[in-house]
Amino acid sequence: MTAAKKLKVTLVKSPFGRVAAHRACVTGLGLRRIRQAVVLADTPENRGMISRVSYLLRVEEA
């Protein structure tokens, strides 16, 4: 059994005033406040949302 990779995603810029689809991606990742961090599974779905709003986030391996 292999351990699934995890990503630590931190919101560093506000989604306020951004494109609605980008705000939805931030919400979909589970982020609500600046400097809030969440640990997510490294899946293609999460990677797609992260790449779309990468200018708002800091991503690290967890």
Interval 17-50: pLDDT, tens: 999 999 999 999 999 999 999 999 999 999 999 9
Q: What is the pTM of this model?
A: 0.90
Query: Which of 44, 52, 26, 45 lies closest to 9 in space, CA to CA?
Result: 26
Task: Specify whether the backbone of 25 is left (phi greater than 0), alpha (psi in -120 to 50) or beta.
Answer: alpha
Domain 6-61: give its CATH superfamily.
Ribosomal protein L30/L7 (3.30.1390.20)
- How far is residue 4's CA from residue 19's CA, in Å, rounded to a whole number? 32
